[in-house]
Chains A and B, each alone.
Chain A
Amino acid sequence: MANPQLVMYDEEFKQINVVLEKLLREANAKVIFLVDKNGQLITGCGETERFDTTSLASLTAGNIAATGGLAKLIGEKEFSILFHEGEKDNLHISIVAGRVILVVLFDTRSSLGLVRLRVKKASDELGSIFEKLMQKSEEKEKSGESEFPFAEITDDDIDNLFS
């Protein structure tokens, strides 16, 4: 398969949120999101309730995919940073560990330079967390150990979803 399945566990989820909260403070940002390259929102912090986070995640992933396509056309591997400047708010989008997308929304209280600097540091920390996460899910898969709740799923369970 092109991309192994992304599985998130409690321990790493907490670690990731700690890194994001720190980045939010240090970069003076308004909101930070972490999105899977396939468009699924992983987590967010800051004023998340003001935004339609699901749409934001999907469009960000679409954006990264489209610019990634452009990069390949001109012979680049990917464009690892995108920056969108608005009148008030700006978006800094970057790829972390080759598979997740870090989205930082900030306004005039911060600056592009500061955000870039802090994102770089946070990216390294996130990178190592995701590396551990991948190893962990691989090991669990190999050992056949799975807490996966769907193993005993029945036809009725699925039918109930659509009732």
Chain B
Amino acid sequence: MSFINYASREINCKIVYYGPGLCGKTTNLQFVYQKTAPEAKGKMISLATETERTLFFDFLPLALGEIRGFKTRFHLYTVPGQVFYDASRKLILKGVDGVVFVADSQEERMDANMESVENLRINLIEQGYDLDKMPYVIQYNKRDLPNVVSIEELRRELNPTGVPEFEACATTGEGVFETLKAVAKLILFDLKKGK
């Protein structure tokens, strides 16, 4: 849950990027890191294997500026996407304020997407959260590849509740900031409602 500090006038929120292995969660964070002004970002930490697969998490702190005199900070995390890292994924969801589901648009990854979104729902329930009641957006990544599934089909399979959705190509950065902005907005509005 977000941490509000009246003493130092800060609000900290946690965003988790979820999705199947190799869907581009880390690439999303890397792009945000590259394109953010040095004074607005901290160090990006990647706990990855030698082959650059995420082992535990990536972490990127962003200080976006002030709202009504309060410094607003977002901590971006990714989970390890590979199926067998489920225990680690559960840990990273602790205290989450908003979730971005990164889907791999390639046809052969549809099953992996569906399995991962189901896994997200179950792991959130274990932590006491309901995916339908929290800030949640979906990103359809890798739209630049030739063998992609249509948006209609992705929507039907992955977004039945109609949460905000974005097409993206994380390697070039298309859609990356739109996604982040959307989830940040939902989180801030949730805070406004005093949840």
Q: Among A59-67, A76-84, A111-119, which stretch is in contact with chain B?
A: A59-67
Q: A1-B1, A1-B128, A62-B56 are in contact. Are A13 and B91 (CB under 8 A)?
A: no
Contact partners of B82 in chain A: CB under 8 A: none
When the two chains form the complex, which single residue of B3, B87, B181 contacts A38, counting CB atoms closer than 8 Å? B3
Are B3 and A8 neighbours in the complex by a CB distance under 8 Å? Answer: yes
Q: In the complex, which residues 126-150 of chain B have their Cβ closer than 8 Å to any Cβ of chain A?
A: 127-129
Q: For the complex formed, measure the closest distance between the CB of B95 and the CB atoms of chain A, giving whole angstroms.
A: 3
Q: Using CB atoms, name the residue of chain A closest to B41.
A: A54
Are A158 and B185 neighbours in the complex by a CB distance under 8 Å? Answer: yes
Contact partners of A13 in chain B: CB under 8 A: 5-8
Counting chain B residues whose Cβ lies within 8 A of the other chain, the interface size class is 35 or more
Contact partners of A54 in chain B: CB under 8 A: 42-43, 61, 75
Are A153 and B188 neighbours in the complex by a CB distance under 8 Å? Answer: yes
Q: Using CB atoms, name the residue of chain B closest to A68.
A: B91
Interface secondary structure of B, over-half rule: mixed
Q: Considering the chains assembled together, what is the distance between the CA atoms of A163 and B192 in angstroms?
A: 21
CB within 8 Å: A-B pair count = 134
Are A58 and B7 neighbours in the complex by a CB distance under 8 Å? Answer: no
Q: A13-B8, A14-B7 are in contact. Are A149 and B2 (CB under 8 A)?
A: no
Q: Considering the chains assembled together, what is the distance between the CA atoms of A157 and B3 in angstroms?
A: 20
Contact partners of A135 in chain B: CB under 8 A: none
Q: Using CB atoms, name the residue of chain B closest to A9.
A: B6
Judge if A131 is at the interface, Cβ distance under 8 Å: no
Q: Residues 126-161 of chain A: 1 if any B CB is under 8 Å from the residue's CB, otherwise 0?
A: 000000000000000000001111111100011011
Are B1 and A161 neighbours in the complex by a CB distance under 8 Å? Answer: no
Are B191 and A150 neighbours in the complex by a CB distance under 8 Å? Answer: yes
Q: In the complex, which residues 146-190 of chain B have their Cβ closer than 8 Å to any Cβ of chain A?
A: 177, 181, 184-185, 188-189
Counting chain A residues whose Cβ lies within 8 A of the other chain, the interface size class is 35 or more
Q: A151-B192, A160-B65, A161-B65 are in contact. Are A38 and B8 (CB under 8 A)?
A: no
Q: In the complex, which residues 1-35 of chain A have their Cβ closer than 8 Å to any Cβ of chain B?
A: 1-10, 12-14
Q: Considering the chains assembled together, what is the distance between the CA atoms of A14 and B59 in angstroms?
A: 29
Q: Considering the chains assembled together, what is the distance between the CA atoms of A157 and B189 in angstroms?
A: 11
Q: In the complex, which residues 12-37 of chain B have their Cβ closer than 8 Å to any Cβ of chain A?
A: 12, 14
Are A8 and B94 neighbours in the complex by a CB distance under 8 Å? Answer: no
Query: In the complex, which of the residues A9, A40, A68 has the most CB atoms of chain B within 10 Å of its own CB atom?
Result: A40
Contact partners of A55 in chain B: CB under 8 A: 42-43, 45, 59, 61
Contact partners of B8 in chain A: CB under 8 A: 8, 13
Q: Considering the chains assembled together, what is the distance between the CA atoms of A7 and B4 in angstroms?
A: 5
Are A40 and B3 neighbours in the complex by a CB distance under 8 Å? Answer: yes
Q: Residues 60-84 of chain B: 1 if any A CB is under 8 Å from the residue's CB, otherwise 0?
A: 0100110111101001000000000
Contacts A5-B1, A68-B91, A153-B68 supplied; 6 other A-B pairs, CB < 8 Å: A36-B3, A39-B14, A54-B43, A62-B47, A62-B92, A153-B191
Residue contacts A-B, CB under 8 angstroms, 21 given: A1-B1, A6-B1, A6-B3, A8-B8, A38-B94, A39-B75, A40-B3, A40-B12, A40-B75, A42-B3, A54-B43, A58-B61, A59-B59, A68-B91, A147-B6, A148-B4, A148-B191, A150-B68, A150-B70, A158-B185, A158-B189
